[in-house]
Structure 1
């Protein structure tokens, strides 16, 4: 029973943290390019995790190191840049809404590649959540001034990365500690992120002459510490104590938080979108519901 409560606490915290990350990306892009934002976020996160989690990497096998590299690039590196590029052209709330397709993709990939068992109620819950997500997207298309399909595909690609990564962690890293997974991912990504940061001209005079550069770096630092380091650690533990389907359902709840921030920042929201958000929450509840004992 205690674990059941912990799962919901994790879901709420992750929804609040990750739901707020989209607005931080939007504010960071005011003075940073997508390459600068993505690489800076990854490097700050790596440094923070190294300070507290280095001992956790001892004793890992070559097999585990291989999957730490794979899950790092699939579940964190690629989405960090995909979202940064997409949010140059898509509102923060819409980006979060589109990412709510992750649970559906988790089920599809699970059935196609990993032969996971899905309860009928979970199918129903994910279906309802998907309907709510479609409602949010439909409402977003009518309130956003312009949504380029190309950039919605970048969000979809990031959602595919998240969905595959959940299965990879569940299957290949089940015996690895949560901190080791989190830090191991970023250790592999850091060299590539540093190369990208240099290539992006982050250290140039032109970058630091922008009047909003220091606030932007501040937003990305918050994003790295809270949205990447802390939330990634929490999510890796979340994946270990719950099903892949319920773990992925955090992408159904975080758009509610993202919508709040979007409205606060001048983005539009309709009553229809609010209704769709309520439908999403009901779908999450059903996707977690177990068969009676």
Structure 2
């Protein structure tokens, strides 16, 4: 894996593009969930993405790995990296704005550093990370507001669901380390997990949503499903693994700072969403916490002060 280094112009373009397409997933979810139930939205996302990624694998000349252990790992990853967090976020977006959901999702690294300390041997908490976690969770508390302590209403529950998605993503980040040790290529991992999550979600859609009983979705809802699958999932995975291979995991962490920006812009411009001052304050604190965890901004500031 490449060491932490300044990114080239093309890598910055890919990083900004990844932030835009991942931020777009909250925008597409907001449109689709107005007409379709949660599990139908999520299954459409992962199933269409699976078809696209399988086609890309074929064009690359790769084949999906076989073996019981590999596919058990794919199902584990599909559950905690796709099925659970996607469903929780879409559920939450029934009651909160897409921008708010994206800000809460940006807390994923806060949970990741805590879980990595508990579950791994090589990613321990440092003073900077502890400070980052404290500041970041202070931002989460500000976003919830004092009213949530008195009345756990629909909005507070929706925010908790989005935080649950962030926890699930954090577990997935640690769980996913095994695929490299198993010798599975990143694109095969991405494809395997969306195939597995599609199979996991299919029975729930058939039993709970019964999509054949639903009215035909509007062109806007169908376009949103296609967008979240093709752009915010399939294309996002291609960009993700390309940046990971060329710029490394540390530089890739920067995308966490940028996703809420694109989600908020799309929600404000096209959905008429308005964020409250506490949401913006919470985003600022979460951003400061992520900066402390990342460490580079702090080191650059210290270096400039020393000069």
Q: TM-score range by the shorter chain?
A: 0.7 to 0.9
Indicate if the aligned counterparts of 1:256 and 1:277 stay in contact, CA closer than 8 A: no
Deviations 1:185-236 (A, max 9, x none): 12222233343444423233x421xxx5221011111111111112134335
Query: What is the aligned-residue RMSD (CA, Å)?
Result: 3.3
Note if 1:229 corresponds to 2:238.
Answer: no
Equivalent pairs, count:
283
Deviation for aligned residue 1:47: 1.2
Q: Distance in 1 between matches of 2:165 and 2:135?
A: 22
Indicate if the aligned counterparts of 1:133 and 1:252 stay in contact, CA closer than 8 A: no
Number of the residue aligned with 2:304 = none
Deviation for aligned residue 1:137: 4.8
Deviations 1:62-104 (A, max 9, x none): 4333222211111011112111211111211111122222111
Change (3 A) 1:248 1:242: closer
Number of the residue aligned with 1:5 = 7
Q: Distance in 2 between matches of 1:283 and 1:8?
A: 22
Change (3 A) 1:46 1:280: same
Of 165, 180, 199, the match for 1:191: 199
Note if 1:215 corresponds to 2:220.
Answer: yes
Q: Distance in 2 between matches of 1:156 and 1:138?
A: 15
Number of the residue aligned with 2:305 = none
Structure 2 residues not aligned, in runs of 5+: 301-307
Indicate if the aligned counterparts of 1:72 and 1:188 stay in contact, CA closer than 8 A: yes
Indicate if the aligned counterparts of 2:30 and 2:93 stay in contact, CA closer than 8 A: yes
Deviation for aligned residue 1:124: 3.9
Deviation for aligned residue 1:31: 1.5
Structure 1 residues not aligned, in runs of 5+: none
Deviation for aligned residue 1:29: 1.4
Deviation for aligned residue 1:239: 5.8
Q: Distance in 2 between matches of 1:131 and 1:193?
A: 34
- Structure 1 segment 108-187 matched on structure 2, within 5 A: 108-115=114-121, 116-138=123-145, 147-174=154-181, 175-187=183-195
Change (3 A) 1:26 1:278: same
- Structure 1 segment 260-271 matched on structure 2, within 5 A: 260-264=265-269, 265-270=271-276
Number of the residue aligned with 1:32 = 36
